Amino acid sequence: MLTGKYLRLYNNLKTLIPKERLIYDELRTLAFGTDAGFYRLIPQLVIKVETEDEVALVIQNAAELNLPITFRAAGTSLSGQAITDSVLVMLGSNWRDYKILDDGNKILMQPGVIGAYANTYLAIYNKKLGPDPASINSAMIAGIAANNASGMTSGTKNNIYNTLAGMKIVFADGSVLNTNDERSQEAFRKINKNLLDKVIALSQKVKANPNLAERIKHKYRMKNTTGYSLNALVEFDDPFDIIIHLMIGSEGTLGFISEITLNTVPELPNKATSLMLFKDIETACKAIPIFQKMPVDAAEIMDRAALRSVENKPGMPEELKTLNENAAALLVETSSETLDGLNHNIELIISSIEQLPKEHPVKFITDPIAAKKLWDVRKGLFPSACKSREPGTTVIIEDINFPVEALANAALDLQALFKKYNYLENIIWGHSLAGNLHFVLSQDFSDEREVKRYKDFMEDLAILVVEKYDGSLKAEHGTGRNMAPYVKYEWGEEAYELMKEIKQIFDPQNILNPGVILNDDSTIHLKNLKPMPIAHPIIDQCIECGFCEVNCPSKNVTIAPRQRIVSYREIARLKRSGNDPYKLKHLQNDYQYYGNETCAVDGLCAVSCPVDINTGSLIKELRNTNNRKTANTIADLVAGNMSFFTASAKYALNTVHFFHKVLGDRIMTSVARVKKKIFGQNFPMWNKYMPKGADGIKIVKQKESQLKVVYFPSCISRSMGITKDYGSDDSLTTVTIRLLKKAGYQILFPDNLNELCCGMAFSSKGFFKQGDKKSTELYEKLLEVSNHGKYPILFDTSPCTYHFKNYLAALNGKAKCILIITEPIDFIYDNLLDKLDIKKMKEPITIHSTCSSTKMGLPNKFKQLAESLSEKVIVPLEVGCCGWAGDRGFSHPELNESALENLKDSIPDDCTKGYSTSRTCEIGLSLHSGLNYKSIIYLVDECSTAKYI
């Protein structure tokens, strides 16, 4: 409930920003308020901003009321800098524009561009961004800039500070500066002369103090994100240069970054990777000063515990499992313009460390797929390591930097410190080429003694890093609240005063993310610690990193997987404590729509989760628990009478189709809207891509053939046929049968086909018992018809294939034999292409990989298949799960609409054909693209003629 100044802010903004983007309910303020760090503050008001004008408005209104605001990009920050108990200003979905400049040498980006996407845009120019945090697949460019995040290859040379070419900023007074625009600079000189004068004066003051200037230069020879980027004051004279470089690492405390231009760095075409295994961490660290003089792009250190946490991941070498107890590894990359150059690099590197004892001889791999696996494992190392922590404990990640010459000793000292404080379950890894070490501790904050242990450990750590090695306490994760108490300790009084002056110049009212970077409270790092209550085994290992959010179809309409987990945890905590039944009831009520009903249960979140959490599985469990007796009885009835229900569905679809033909699109749409209004949320919403009933399957006697395939048409394909203006008169089943015959196959159908279903339709709604029953029935029939696995089995939709494959996998050795289950992409690519004459079409086409195809690792194969059929294939980069979710698109069309909001713009005007492999997803895709999406089977049939018969 908003009160006081927050209510006034809301009232001031509600006529300027749509109300649905002004959020203050308990569930979403908690969910959106959470970032990846181990602190918890819950905002009073969350504002999703979509334009620079809105940002300026929010800033001005908050300033008038003296209300603190905190900006939020992807929320993967680890040091408590992206949270607030006041106003959280989140980037909406409109900040993703970019422009490649100067033939790929520069890129201009809006703040919401995800780092990895920028690299995809730059790939055709053989360029990439300099900064490369392990979180690059999720982190947005504004967050990367505001944290001065870097990573494995960037070091200090290619970090965002050193690759910065321009910026557009909204300041605390609402004024805007675009350093790429002369006129904007001119205007700023007039309006904000005072700020510019103060910046110049501060810079001159530092330059006039050689000791301080030298100290600053020294500290930035290392990676350092403790405090503000004071090097900007020493390295630049132009006030605009100073300002934009001060913004780097300012963690949203100096202004809002609304555009950023970066110089890019070359992405060399030839790369080699080696996982070097050393006798111990000291030896591994000794290689680092040597590698600094070698053509080494990255050298990532991993101690024994780190290696143990990932030894079972795909792509990791077997020998990891048998290493000695003290061993350590360096994951090393080298690259070159030419192959000869690469081989030369490899020779140099191997011979440079000849004298260091190793566990295994050093070898480099050049296969990009195998190398990517190693790097992906390394990127997911931190969360993977967290998987083994005690449920209910918090994971703390630290990020320190030592001079590389001292790295070996420092690593040993660090290990001794863990022993002293009895932190035995820790891992050490990091970007050792730059002297950057990370470690994680598993910490219980529910106990005062434990909090004190952490506090004392931190004191000793600060002494070790600052006094003994003159290193930095935050190398790349930003100061946040976590290191704020130690900024003065690390930098000294004089430099700290400079930082306070900077804050005063940019934000005299102290409304931009106050308490972050500079904080007078010496115990702020021990306050507002995030509870991690045990909630459900499916999600207990979640570390709230946020890596799953990017894939989630509901992230822009309701909440994302991490937010589902956070709010579910809070519900579990309240249930257990019994302290606040009123709040619990509210959260539970809201969770029904935000958490449960709008989850597509597609499981795409698991694809990018480093600890393999499928939030959709949690939601399915909840649906199962929530299903009432009547619902279960109905599900039993449907499961036991599939043929009747598919026939009825066909009849209903044909009736609706008839009315569509007679009444036309407009009237049908209006009627559907009225009905939905009357009957409520769960009433299916008609749209013009609703199909008519499918053709019946005529099983006629076929010629005997050596080539046999079992065809299982899903219940969806058996009931849903073509739509108006489909471009074909035949249902998918008819086309599939035609195509298989054309390729010379004899088709076998399971007995009693009309009663069969893979079970997915039931289990996705939480009817596990009925789902299992249908899967088992199908299993028995497929065993029989495939002659116990002798013949391959083709499912015509990917989701059913995936579901059934999972059912088989869960049989866990109890399977009677191995069945070869395939879906259209796989089957056509592997079995049909060589049996057909294909005439490639000139027209461009677009394809959509379903979530199931993605989880089965098929997107590349799908693209290759499509490329064998059309000369131009478009795969929209920013379109993931379509959000149709079986039949949820009918009852919750907003999910599909939001998931596909970028689809239309991603498809060029000359492309009029779309293909996928799921009939229901195709309805949603058609609705939001205007193209009539069909199964890829149609296209193969259209482009092919028989080769053998």
Report the interface residues with ligand FAD, using CB under 6 A: 35-36, 70-78, 81-82, 111, 133-135, 139-140, 142-144, 146-147, 149-151, 251-252, 256-257, 382-383, 476-478, 513, 545
CB-based contact 33:43 (threshold 8 Å): yes
Which residue's Cβ has the minimum distance to ligand SF4?
Answer: 616
Among ligand FAD, ligand SF4, none, the one that 220 touches (CB under a kind-dependent 5 to 8 A) is none
CB of 614 to ligand FAD, least distance (A): 18
CB of 534 to ligand FAD, least distance (A): 21
Least separation in angstroms between CB 50 and ligand SF4:
22
Min dist CB 278 to ligand FAD, Å, is 22
Smaller CB distance to ligand SF4: residue 551 or 935? 551
Q: Which is nearer to ligand SF4, 126 or 626 (CB)?
A: 626
Of residues 471 and 924, the one with the C-beta less far from ligand FAD: 471
Say if residues 239 and 278 touch (Cβ distance below 8 Å): no
Judged by CB, which is closer to ligand SF4: 242, or 310? 310
Q: How far is the CB of 49 from ligand FAD (least distance, A)?
A: 9
Q: At CA 495, angle to CA 491 and CA 496, rounded to 5?
A: 80
Q: Shortest gap between Cβ of 377 and ligand SF4 (angstroms)?
A: 15
In the complex, minimum distance from the CB of residue 177 to ligand FAD, in angstroms, rounded to a whole number: 13
The set of residues, in sequence order, having a beta carbon less than 8 Å from that of 756 and lying 6+ positions away, is: 642, 712, 715, 750, 774, 777, 778, 781
Least distance from ligand FAD to the Cβ atom of residue 252, Å: 3
Give which of ligand SF4, ligand FAD, none residue 604 binds (C-beta under 5 to 8 Å, depending on kind): ligand SF4
Residue closer to ligand SF4 (CB basis): 490 or 597? 597
User: Residue 64 has which token pair?
Assistant: 């008038």
Interacting partner of 140 out of ligand SF4, ligand FAD, none (Cβ under 5 to 8 A depending on kind): ligand FAD
Q: What does 134 bind: ligand SF4, ligand FAD, none (CB cut-off 5 to 8 Å by kind)?
A: ligand FAD
Instruction: Choose from ligand FAD, ligand SF4, none: what does 441 bind? Cβ within 5-8 Å by kind.
Output: none
Residues that bind ligand SF4 (CB under 6 A): 383, 542-548, 551-554, 561-562, 564-565, 599-605, 609, 611, 613, 615-616, 619, 881
Rounded alpha-carbon distances, angstroms, from residue 744 to 813, 937, 946, 948: 34, 16, 8, 7
Question: Any bridge partners for residue 401, and if so which?
Answer: 436, 472
Least separation in angstroms between residue 53's CB and ligand FAD is 14
Which segments of 786-918 does DSSP mark as H helices, in order? Answer: 798-810, 824-827, 851-855, 859-867, 888-891, 893-899, 903-906
Three-state SS across 602-656?
Answer: CCHHHHHCCCCCCHHHHHHHHHHHHCCHHHHHHHHHHHHCHHHHHHHHHHHHHHH
Which C-beta is closer to ligand FAD: that of 143 or that of 616? Answer: 143
Segments of 150-240 assigned E as strands: 164-170, 176-178
Shorter beta-carbon distance to ligand FAD: residue 77 or 846: 77
Q: Which does 600 bind (CB under 5 to 8 A by kind): ligand SF4, ligand FAD, none?
A: ligand SF4
User: Which among ligand FAD, ligand SF4, none contacts residue 611 (Cβ within 5 to 8 A by kind)?
Assistant: ligand SF4
Q: Which is nearer to ligand FAD, 117 or 256 (CB)?
A: 256
- Kindly report the number of other CB atoms within 10 A of residue 205's CB atom: 13
Centroid of chain to Cα 678: 38
Comparing every residue's Cβ against ligand FAD, the nearest one is: 143
> Among residues 382 and 890, whose Cβ is nearest to ligand FAD?
382
**471: helix, strand or coil:** coil
CB of 351 to ligand FAD, least distance (A): 30
Q: How far is the CB of 155 from ligand FAD (least distance, A)?
A: 12
Q: Which is nearer to ligand SF4, 855 or 934 (CB)?
A: 855
Q: Are 192 and 503 in contact (CB under 8 A)?
A: no
State how far Cα 624 lies from the chain centre: 27
How far is Cα 46 from Cα 74, in angstroms, rounded to an integer?
14
Instruction: Report helix, strand or coil for 245.
Output: helix
Of residues 99 and 576, the one with the C-beta less far from ligand FAD? 99
Question: 68-101 burial string, b = 16+ CB within 10 Å, else e?
Answer: bbbbbbbbbbbbbbbbbbbbbbbbeeebbebebb
How near is the Cβ of 789 to ligand FAD at its closest, in Å?
Answer: 42
Among ligand SF4, ligand FAD, none, residue 394 binds (CB under 5-8 Å by kind):
none
What is the secondary structure of 754-803 as a DSSP string? GG---SHHHHTTT-HHHHHHHHHHHHHHHHHHTTTTTS-EEESSHHHHHH
256 binds, among ligand SF4, ligand FAD, none (CB under 5 to 8 A by kind): ligand FAD
> Could you write out the DSSP letters of every residue in 85-146?
SSEEEEE-S----EEEEGGGTEEEE-TT-BHHHHHHHHHTTTEE-S---TTTTT-BHHHHHH
Q: Which of 489, 481, 491, 493 is nearest to 518 (CA)?
A: 481
Q: List the structure tokens of 40.
A: 């918890």
Q: Is the four-CA dihedral 166, 170, 172, 175 of positive or negative sign?
A: positive
Name which of 87 and 604 has its Cβ closer to ligand SF4: 604
CA atoms in the 13 A half-sphere facing the CB of 176: 16
